[in-house]
A and B are shown apart, each in its own frame.
Chain A
Amino acid sequence: EAGVVQSPRYKIIEKKQPVAFWCNPISGHNTLYWYLQNLGQGPELLIRYENEEAVDDSQLPKDRFSAERLKGVDSTLKIQPAELGDSAVYLCASSPRRGNTGELFFGEGSRLTVL
């Protein structure tokens, strides 16, 4: 079974440029999460999807961040414009269904460096 796939693994951009990250969850997983992980810290939730609906986006900085999960499968997280403080690892995770135990399956992450 294929795991959660993220791309790109690494991205270096100048500040004020846009950037997008893509995530393909495990087949059949209805719930998809985007987490932000700063260096030396634990992951922090940005947004959670149940199928194509964003059910928790309270921690997503909506002035510059946006996300979508069209057709309830793949998801894209966008930052426009990027700021120096956005340098971090962006992790995507998925889980089988609503009401599960909360065990998440993570991708390898997308490491963003903003210069």
Chain B
Amino acid sequence: SQQGEEDPQALSIQEGENATMNCSYKTSINNLQWYRQNSGRGLVHLILIRSNEREKHSGRLRVTLDTSKKSSSLLITASRAADTASYFCATFTGGGNKLTFGTGTQLKVEL
């Protein structure tokens, strides 16, 4: 079963623009993570934000977390064609050592 949903399902932007993806989830979490998946490849970990954090940055990535609304957003600034991929949020519930993925956002960055 999927823990949450991502919005939008698909996003198409021009190179240089910012891309924002949102994730909503259902249960209490220890942390929330974002992964990228290029077509036909495995998932790659991008960034992790703990439940007591509200914002985190890594390079061109900015993640926010609102535990009261059970939601997170991933912002990719100054996007590049190489950012074209599917992006998944995943919630970690430490008790079961379980990572549960959302449904994903398909990002296309056009030249």
- Chain A residues in contact with chain B, CB under 8 A? 4, 31, 33, 35, 40-45, 48, 50, 55-56, 59, 91, 93, 98-99, 101-109, 111
Contact = CB atoms under 8 A, between A and B. Distances in A.
B13 to A, nearest CB: 20
Contacts of B45: 103-105
Contacts of A4: 42
10 contacts: A41-B103, A43-B88, A48-B97, A101-B48, A102-B48, A103-B48, A104-B45, A106-B44, A109-B41, A109-B42
A42 B2 contact: yes
Interface of B: 1-2, 30-31, 33, 35, 40-45, 48, 88, 90, 92, 94, 96-104
B42 A99 contact: no
Contacts of A106: 35, 42-44
A99 B94 CA distance: 7
Contacts of B103: 41-42
